[in-house]
Amino acid sequence: MTLSRRQFTKEFKEAAVRRLELGASIAEVARACEVNPNVLHRWKRELHDHGSKSFTGSGKTRAEESRVVELERKVGRQAMEIDFLRRCLQHVEEQRKLQALTTRHSSTRTWRKK
């Protein structure tokens, strides 16, 4: 015997949270809606955190969005590292050129065989 997950509409979830905001207790609303009180806490938090964007679907959308945000952040960090390393390499090349110029011209001593 397999149990399937119940799915609730966005309107149902919003109505349950609205009942909580009107002063009903978590236990009352949980019994009336036949859901676990923890689910009500999660719905309330999600509605508070995301407003009209809450309850958009099966729950995977937000996880995918957060993964995209994480990857974009990583790409940005790597771009900054690449820019930093390019500047470092440019600085090293400039120092080598400068050193090559100064060592070539500053040597005024001539070697003589005795």
Ranges of each domain in the chain: 7-57, 69-105
Give helix 26-33 / helix 37-50 axis angle, nearest 10°. 100
pLDDT at 55: 79
Alpha-carbon distance 38 to 64, whole Å? 24
What is the separation of C-alpha 56 from the centre of its chain, rounded to a whole number of angstroms?
Answer: 19
pLDDT at 64: 77
pLDDT at 35: 93
- Count CB atoms within 10 A of the CB of residue 30: 19
Question: Is residue 47 classed exposed, middle or buried when 0-12, 13-18 and 19+ CB atoms within 10 A define those classes?
Answer: buried
pLDDT at 8: 87
pLDDT at 51: 81
pLDDT at 105: 58
pTM of the model: 0.47
**What are the residue ranges in the chain where pLDDT is below 50?**
none
pLDDT at 94: 95
pLDDT at 2: 67
